[in-house]
Amino acid sequence: MLSHYFAQTLGEQFTNELPELRNQIGRVPFTDRNPSYGVAGNTFRAYRGCNTPPSQLYREWAEPICNELPISVLEKQLHTRKGFLEWHTFLAENLQEHWRERENRQLSVAHKYKLVDLFIKWLSSHDFDSPVLSECLVSHANCALDSQTLNKLNECLSFALPLSNPSMGDIQSETTYRFCQELIEQFATRFGGSRLLFDYFAWRRGGNA
């Protein structure tokens, strides 16, 4: 069983930090949202070869979504994992279409999902006056995969993954992306959390993107 590889000490640390991690959910008034939409400049250094600054491309995509966010619809849709995945797929395809239209090129799997999952994580930190929506995101949102979260995942699996220096570039296919999400889910739920809360647990300001 995979649980045999779980690092118990880190699992207990995750459990102990859950109240603090949950305090980061739904705390920022959405009217005061930051126009970075949750993605710092160091992340965009990996998005090379764009004619338009990638941060601008991302903001052009995120802003209209935030301006028309259907809270009551999302409360119902994201109540199930299936509904969340449908919304997640919509966001990913919509971002990819925007990138193609503006740059005549596609985002890689890693880059596409990194932006979508960071956007959803950023949304989760905001107060929509909807505890239901916040809980839906905690329950079903994915973890943004980058060097920090992948390193922490490997550490939590007692370094069972044969990766000496995990990075976002290791996510080369949809299959790899889903596999990593499943590994995170198994560890996180075993110790009382979720993929999204694992993301908050793994990420530290100033770490590598």
What pLDDT was estimated at residue 46?
83
3-state secondary structure the chain: CHHHHCCHHHHHHHHHHHHHHHCCCCCEEHHHCCCCCCCCHHHHCCCCCCCCCHHHHHHHHHHHHHHCCCHHHHHHHCCCHHHHHHHHHHHHHHHHHHHHHHHCCCCCHHHHHHHHHHHHHHHHCEECCCHHHHHHHHHHCCCCCCHHHHHHHHHHCCCCCCCCCCCHHHCCCHHHHHHHHHHHHHHHHHCCCCHHHHHHHHCCCCCCC
Instruction: Give domain limits for the chain.
Output: 2-202
From first to last of its 209 residues, the chain has per-residue pLDDT tens of: 789 999 999 999 999 999 999 999 999 999 888 899 999 888 888 888 899 999 999 999 999 999 999 999 999 999 999 999 999 999 999 999 999 999 999 999 999 999 999 999 999 999 999 999 999 999 999 999 999 999 999 999 999 998 888 888 899 999 999 999 999 999 999 999 999 999 999 997 644 44
